[in-house]
């Protein structure tokens, strides 16, 4: 199965459950629930939950067993997008081809919608009754792992350094830190979660962790490239915004061609980490290749 087929089928599987664990928009107070659902239902590749599933299947797990946790990772991702788009951060008007959350609901509700999605994500990740085929200790471990990926030693730390680096010359080490922490850690944690929930052994988890670290960095490098080269209607958001804000990016430091080579090498090295797995890890291999071929 190609990456496009696996991602499409995985997106349909996630979309069928995406609202199952959220209040309906008519639930009081309606404004917050409408705002949450607006962004959750705005589309997207559902990449992080699909990676949870793909990692689970690679070690012999079942996608139905990890579905609530996988959906929770999409709530986390959506929270990050809502907050990233705010005027105090990236100040974007479009997300997935639609007005950003704060443009529709106002800044205050957008902030609270992001907060609520993050809270709901961890409520879901630790809801053991929904995942009764998963050992409670594994649920706790995967949720704890996710908190590390999102805090100041993870995504938030990367965002802070990203903000503080705008308009300043930075070195390669700082640029790599921003990309690994801001984007890579959540991708890596999603892969680790699927493996942990499905009782991966130490060798399997280490291999998947290294794979996740490589493709997570590659994903953000390609995002930097697409901000320059992509078509806005296909990308679904404003292009050229990184340049306008003088953000720290790989093309700004290395140029487009060298950035492409770095992303390709990272994916190649990441896929090599999967040599210990059989063909059940083929979706992960194909998703890695998709990362450097994508146009959106």
Does residue 10 contact residue 50 with C-beta atoms inside 8 Å? yes
φ and ψ of 97, to 5 deg = 80, 5
pLDDT higher than 60, residue 235: no
φ and ψ of 118, to 5 deg = -65, -45
Return the number of other C-beta atoms located less than 10 Å from residue 287's C-beta: 26
Instruction: List, for residues 153-174, the tens digit of each pLDDT value.
Output: 999 999 999 999 988 999 999 9
If one counts the domains in the chain, the total is 1
pLDDT higher than 80, residue 231: no
Question: What is the torsional sign of CA 151, 149, 46, 166?
Answer: positive
Percentage of the chain with pLDDT > 90? 86
pLDDT higher than 90, residue 294: no
Q: Which residue has the tokens 């390609």?
A: 222
Instruction: List, for residues 49-97, the tens digit of each pLDDT value.
Output: 999 999 999 999 999 999 999 999 999 999 999 999 999 999 999 998 8
Residue 296: partners with Cβ closer than 8 Å, 6 or more residues away: 226, 230, 234, 235, 236
How sure is the predictor about 239, in pLDDT bands with cuts at 50, 70 and 90? low
Instruction: List, for residues 248-293, the tens digit of each pLDDT value.
Output: 899 999 999 999 999 999 999 999 999 999 999 999 999 999 989 8
Domain region containing 157: 3-293
Q: How would you class 29 by CB atoms within 10 Å of its CB: exposed for 0-12, middle for 13-18, buried for 19 or more? A: exposed
pLDDT higher than 60, residue 181: yes
Does residue 98 contact residue 40 with C-beta atoms inside 8 Å? no
Our measurement of the distance from residue 227's CA atom to the centroid of its chain's CA atoms, rounded to an integer in Å, reads 17
Beta bridge partners of 94: 99
Give the pLDDT of residue 237: 58
How sure is the predictor about 241, in pLDDT bands with cuts at 50, 70 and 90? low
Instruction: List, for residues 2-59, the tens digit of each pLDDT value.
Output: 888 999 999 999 999 999 999 999 999 999 999 999 999 998 999 999 999 999 999 9
pLDDT higher than 70, residue 136: yes
Question: What CATH number is associated with residue 107?
Answer: 1.10.600.10
- The number of CA neighbours under 13 Å toward the Cβ of 243 is 11
Does residue 212 contact residue 191 with C-beta atoms inside 8 Å? yes
């Amino acid at each position: 199965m190609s990456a496009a087929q696996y991602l499409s089928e995985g997106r349909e599987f996630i979309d069928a459950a995406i609202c199952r664990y959220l209040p309906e928009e008519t639930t009081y107070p309606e404004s917050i629930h409408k705002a949450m659902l607006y962004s959750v239902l705005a589309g997207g590749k559902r990449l992080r939950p699909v990676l949870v599933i793909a990692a689970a299947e690679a070690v012999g797990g079942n996608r139905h067993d990890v579905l609530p946790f996988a959906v929770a990772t999409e709530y986390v991702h959506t929270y990050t997008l809502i907050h990233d788009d705010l005027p105090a951060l990236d100040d974007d008007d479009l997300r997935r081809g639609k007005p950003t959350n704060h443009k529709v609901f106002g800044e205050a509700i957008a902030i609270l919608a992001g907060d609520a999605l993050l809270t709901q994500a961890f409520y879901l990740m630790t809801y053991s009754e929904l995942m009764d085929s998963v050992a409670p200790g594994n649920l706790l471990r995967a949720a704890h792992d996710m908190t590390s990926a999102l805090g100041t030693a993870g995504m938030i730390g990367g965002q802070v350094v990203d903000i503080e680096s705008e308009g300043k010359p930075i070195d390669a080490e700082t640029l790599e830190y921003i990309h690994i922490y801001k984007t890579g850690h959540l991708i890596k944690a999603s892969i680790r979660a699927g493996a942990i929930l499905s009782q991966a052994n130490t060798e399997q988890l280490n291999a998947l962790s290294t794979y996740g670290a490589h493709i997570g960095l590659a994903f953000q490098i390609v995002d930097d490239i697409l901000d320059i080269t992509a078509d806005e209607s296909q990308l679904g958001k404003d292009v050229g915004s990184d340049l306008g804000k003088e953000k720290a990016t790989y093309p700004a430091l290395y140029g487009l061609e060298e950035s492409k080579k770095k992303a390709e090498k990272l994916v190649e090295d990441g896929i090599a980490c999967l040599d210990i797995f059989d063909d059940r890890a083929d979706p992960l291999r194909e998703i890695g290749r998709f990362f450097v071929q994508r146009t959106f």
